[in-house]
A = this chain, B = another copy of it.
């Protein structure tokens, strides 16, 4: 018989149990659940709602259950539906009827909301830690390869030469926004829902602020009906993760391109690539491809949770049980992709000569030639037009700018003089010295600023509560 069975005349069908039970996946919340129950129990005792000895018995029982689970000795039972009922039933086996007092002034509705928020807080912090680790890798690679030049691309066409360090710092910036986005999500997640009861609050004289303090929450929820049916924090995590995955998919695409024979800009480490069952020569950028592919999965989870939440009337509806699997998989996917891509990048061999060669070929300096004319007084539009015709000439003649003599130049504009030959890949890069540009000095400044941003994130992280897996109070 179910814990809620008093009103029912029949047992639940086995198939219904199978269909509705969440214990297969929500047992992952066991640590958060026990942590929350202990804090709730402490408060019940302090408020005189249960006796002090009852509290001690319950807490001791819960701690033993935590150990049983950690040691793999706990028997999860599907007929007990979910992580909450499994733990409560075990508690009753261990300490008897007094276990039934734990659920005083609480409903599974606010209990699961609490567990999810505890879990989500940790997940957010874990994501930020990985992002900042990745940022460090980018910074180190940028510093090591400070002299490497490669073509910058637009439309996958060579556009203007840039420093590899500058290119890498573009990803640093994406991850910086991700850090900030997750940080903002943390603030909205950091709210205690417990005490909301099933939907309307509770008739017992509980102290919600005490529970919040014990669990390290910055705020308590302000409306019980909202608190039990709010899953915004899950959506917000998955939305932030979707953007991070999008960023990773861009990096992954570049790794795939750069490790192709055609680009040849990098070589992956043997330990970070895989082979073919049929073609013995193959060395494939599987990690990058899988990361790119897994972007779809995370986007899908975002769509799933939004769809599930659409049009639900207040308050709790069982549809909300669907908040977990996609969320957990998003957390696992994001963490794994950040970890492995970071390690892949760290072990990737850069080929500076191939990059440089590509940057030096062709007509990549055309913008610099146009700017040259502008500095001699030609309006930019006309300069662009002149250089466009010059480019057409080069294509027909099979030359690039370095192969033109001054007469050829002057055939297109009398503003050209000897100084035109001072435009090279290096002077082009060096000339973009404004803030945010690719010149060595601007990049040096950016590196310093980036180190500061990393430190700021680390400082913030240092002030957050410990992970639920690390703590279990007496």
Which of B10, B199, B371 interacts with A162 by CB under 8 Å?
B199
In the complex, whether A437 has a CB less than 8 A from a CB of chain B is yes
Residues of A50-88 contacting chain B, CB below 8 A: 81, 84-85, 88
CA distance A145 to B312 in the complex (A): 23
* A88 contacts across to B, CB distance below 8 A: 381
| Count of this chain's copies in the oligomeric assembly | 4
How far in angstroms is the closest Cβ of chain B from A114? Answer: 13
Closest B residue to A154 by CB, please name it.
B316
Closest B residue to A369 by CB, please name it.
B280
Comparing A287-295, A414-422, A454-462, the segment that makes contact with chain B is A287-295
Contact A2 B274 (CB under 8 A): yes
Which of B100, B287, B390, B449 interacts with A16 by CB under 8 Å?
B287
Known: A100-B380, A249-B310. A6 touches B385 (CB 8 A): yes
CA distance A157 to B213 in the complex (A): 34
Contact B173 A374 (CB under 8 A): no
Known: A13-B343, A275-B7, A308-B296. A159 touches B227 (CB 8 A): no
Contact B318 A222 (CB under 8 A): no
Residues of A219-246 contacting chain B, CB below 8 A: 220-230, 232, 235-236, 239, 242-243, 246
In the complex, whether A36 has a CB less than 8 A from a CB of chain B is no
Closest B residue to A450 by CB, please name it.
B222
Closest B residue to A206 by CB, please name it.
B434
- Do most interface residues of chain A lie in helix, strand or loop, or is the interface mixed? helix
In the complex, whether A31 has a CB less than 8 A from a CB of chain B is no
Contact B296 A432 (CB under 8 A): no
Contact A449 B222 (CB under 8 A): yes
Which of B19, B152, B249, B361 interacts with A311 by CB under 8 Å?
B249
Contact with B along A433-446 (1 / 0, CB 8 A): 11111110010001
Contact B434 A286 (CB under 8 A): no
Contact B154 A280 (CB under 8 A): no
CA distance A240 to B361 in the complex (A): 43
In the complex, whether A402 has a CB less than 8 A from a CB of chain B is no
Known: A295-B310, A343-B15, A434-B201. A286 touches B391 (CB 8 A): no
Contact A156 B364 (CB under 8 A): no
Closest B residue to A112 by CB, please name it.
B277
In the complex, whether A122 has a CB less than 8 A from a CB of chain B is no
Closest B residue to A254 by CB, please name it.
B313
How far in angstroms is the closest Cβ of chain B from A393? Answer: 10
Closest B residue to A172 by CB, please name it.
B223
CA distance A299 to B115 in the complex (A): 26
In the complex, whether A181 has a CB less than 8 A from a CB of chain B is yes
Known: A232-B177, A284-B318, A318-B293. A7 touches B392 (CB 8 A): yes
Contact A97 B307 (CB under 8 A): no
Known: A4-B388, A157-B261, A432-B202. A225 touches B109 (CB 8 A): no
In the complex, whether A12 has a CB less than 8 A from a CB of chain B is yes
Which of B297, B322, B428 interacts with A304 by CB under 8 Å?
B297
In the complex, whether A147 has a CB less than 8 A from a CB of chain B is no
* A141 contacts across to B, CB distance below 8 A: none
Residues of A172-206 contacting chain B, CB below 8 A: 172-174, 177, 180-181, 184, 187-188, 195-206
Given contacts A160-B200, A254-B313, 10 further A-B contacts (CB under 8 A): A7-B395, A8-B283, A16-B271, A154-B276, A157-B259, A203-B371, A250-B311, A279-B366, A286-B318, A293-B319
A-B contact pairs, 30 of them (CB 8 A): A4-B276, A5-B388, A101-B380, A103-B278, A155-B285, A156-B256, A173-B221, A177-B232, A200-B429, A201-B439, A202-B434, A203-B368, A203-B371, A223-B436, A235-B243, A239-B239, A249-B311, A254-B313, A257-B262, A262-B262, A262-B263, A280-B369, A280-B384, A280-B385, A285-B318, A289-B317, A297-B325, A302-B302, A307-B307, A310-B310
